[in-house]
Structure 1
Amino acid sequence: MTNKNILIIGGYGFIGSALVEKYYKENNITIIDNSDYSTSSLGLRNIDISKINIHHGDATDKDFILSIGDNFDYIVNAAAILGIKKVAEKSIQTIQTNISTSNNSLELAKKQKHLLKYLSFSTSEVYGIKTYNSKECDEAVIGPPNEARWCYAASKILIDHLAFAYHREYNIPITIIRPFNIFGEYRLGSNAINTFVSKMLSNEPVYIDGDGSQVRTWCYIKDFIAGIDSALTSNYINEIFNIGNPFNKITIYELAVLIKSLIGSKSEIIVSHSSVPDVKFRTVDIKKATDKLNYIPNYSLYEGLANFIEWRKSI
């Protein structure tokens, strides 16, 4: 992709900044974000931001969003509140922010003169408590509303419906991506890999929620971005794609053991047997992305973890 006008909402974040890094040298990039640049994922990357048009503001502010412009070829909405703990503690903010940001960005998409694609990020959590090789056409069955962790998935299901509604009523060319456990350099926060690596580099004890038998398939960020690029530049519109790596399947306990081995850590791994609501299986089916986008992940879990650990040591 070259010489395109690309708007990335949430461009300071993990995925947004990875897309900025991929495209900024040969395209015209505009970012909307309200985070602190100096402590963001984008701020940690070695990027010449003088070439990027940055609007510091809140994507929930409709007037602000609609003032950004009408000449974008691509709009990528990578802004959201996420993280199990944060979502549980700030459920109202999670629901309102995620939906408002999506609604405003879709309204902006309506104004564009020659929009090629609007890309929205959904979540693997929409497949519910047992996400075993779920396909894009499977029914969305999330956990009960009295469990706060599911409000994020609920907001994303509504956003998926909203995007398709804008296609039906305003002919917006949409694509929806459902990420499955993405990890890698410049990811901040407290997901399992970040927490394990951080603790084990300091030889601190590592606590595992539940019994450690929860299964995940981990996808390295470079594979994920390759999948996003294929989705953006393909001729397919109004589609949902699972993007992940089915080959990197591992239990949470096995993941902790692997990271400990790679680091050579002395950390004790403690299985808490807590009763925190969790997904027992989350594995990805990428057949649709492979068939239509030629998406095939290349990085093994070992390679991705080794790269992430080396980066984590450097910061």
Structure 2
Amino acid sequence: MSLAALELEQPGASASSTRPIAASVRTGGDRTRRRHRPRSPEPGNPVPKLDSPAVPLSGKRILITGGAGFIGTTLGRRLVDDNHLVVVDNLHRDALTDSDLAEHPNLEFHQGDVLDAELLLELAHGATHVVHCAAIAGVDTVIESPVRTMRVNLIGTYNVLEAAVATKQTVERLIEFSTSEVFGTHAYNVREGHVTTTGSVGEARWTYAVSKLAGEHMAHAYHDELNLPTVTVRPFNV
């Protein structure tokens, strides 16, 4: 199965549309590859399809932080048959332990925390892809523990980026999961290039959004200065 943020497109692949918009995909080196992506279809018009499908990942070593969460286990199921997965999670939210995925021979699980920089350096060694899903989330948790939220979302992301840099010779891509919350209260019908916004300092709900937005800036900085191939994903509620 194809995962656009993880997989490379076939040469010449593009999206067909009469009104394409360009989306930047950060790669190693100083280049930013431009990929055309269709606008949202007008009512009554068919959804544009890619001329060529993405190339599925196979034979890769993929580190997934927060791999026992909802997104991490969903990705794991789509990748585990053809790749070696190294999953790290503190099991605060555990969708992995009692699942069939936990018993898959291609999955290697480590209970740990993204605040443990040495552990991440060890687990990232030799990885071709790093998927950073680990974060503090949930309204109640963010409101009750704003300091912990900032520590995990900021320092944890920093530790993951440093671990990826340490094994940069093998890393093909780092995928950092952010959030639609970076668009503030107007996170509806937005696009990649739209302005991010947050509320006033002191309003607890913005602690999460600000920490995730800072993680985005860090990921882009590591690309721009250290040539680390990074991609940021902003999931929305469905």
Question: How does the TM-score come out when normalised to structure 1?
Answer: 0.55
Counterpart check, 1:159 vs 2:187 = no
Bigger Rg, which one: 1
* 1:253-299 Cα distance to aligned partner (Å, 9 max, x none): xxxxxxxxxxxxxxxxxxxxxxxxxxxxxxxxxxxxxxxxxxxxxxx
Cα shift readout 1:97-143 (whole Å, capped 9, x = no counterpart): 11111100100111222211000011101001122311111111111
**Contact 2:63-2:123 at 8 Å conserved across structures:** no
Post-superposition offset of 1:158 = 0.4
Q: Which amino acid in the other structure matches residue 219 of structure 2?
A: A
Where does residue 84 of structure 2 map in the other structure? Answer: 28
2:114 maps to 1:59: yes
CA distance in 1, matches of 2:106, 2:212: 32
Q: What is the DSSP-based 3-state SS (H/G/I as helix, E as strand, rest coil) of the residue aligned with 1:68?
A: helix
Per-residue CA distance 1:43-83 (angstroms, 9 max, x = gap): 24322244311121111111221122421110000000101
Tell me how far apart the structure 2 counterparts of residues 33 and 84 of structure 1 sit (CA, whole Å): 20
Matches within 5 A, 1:297-312: none
Corresponding residue SS for 1:3: coil
Code of the aligned partner of 1:111: A
Do residues 46 (structure 1) and 46 (structure 2) align?
no
Q: Which residue of 1 aligns with 2:134?
A: 79
- 2:51 is aligned to none
| 1:127 and 2:183 aligned | yes
Number of corresponding residues: 180
Unaligned runs of at least 5 residues, structure 2: 1-56
Output the CA distance in 1 between the equivalents of 2:62 and 2:176.
14
* CA distance, structure 1, for counterparts of residue 78 and residue 105 of structure 2: 16
1:19 is paired with a residue of what secondary structure? helix
Aligned partner of 2:197 in structure 1 is 141
RMSD of aligned residue pairs (Cα, Å): 1.4
Q: What residue in structure 2 maps to residue 273 of structure 1?
A: none
Q: Secondary structure at the match of 1:80?
A: coil
Q: What residue in structure 1 maps to residue 157 of structure 2?
A: 102
1:150 aligns with 2:211: no
**Structure 2 counterpart of 1:59, one-letter code:** V
Q: Partners in 1 of 2:104 and 2:142 — Cα distance?
A: 31
Amino acid at match of 2:146: S
1:112-261 equivalences in 2 (<5 Å): 112=167, 113-181=169-237, 218=238
Distance between the aligned counterparts of 2:198 and 2:59, measured in 1? 41
Once the two structures are TM-superposed, the CA of residue 84 in structure 1 deviates from its matched residue by 1.1
Equivalent residue for 1:6? 62
Identity within the alignment, %? 36
1:31 deviation in Å?
0.7
Whether the 8 Å contact between 2:63 and 2:124 is mirrored in structure 1 is no
Secondary structure at the counterpart of residue 76 of structure 1: strand
State the AA in 2 paired with 1:84: V
Per-residue CA deviations over 1:153-177 (Å, capped at 9, x if unaligned) read 0001100000000001110000100
Shift in CA distance, 72/92, structure 1 to aligned 2, threshold 3 Å = same
Query: Whose helix fraction is larger, Structure 1's or Structure 2's?
Result: 1
Q: How far is 1:145 from its partner? A: 1.6
Output one character per residue of 1:231-271: Cα deviation in whole Å (capped at 9) or x when no partner. Answer: xxxxxxxxxxxxxxxxxxxxxxxxxxxxxxxxxxxxxxxxx
Amino acid at match of 1:169: E
Q: Runs of 5+ in structure 1 lacking a partner?
A: 182-217, 219-315
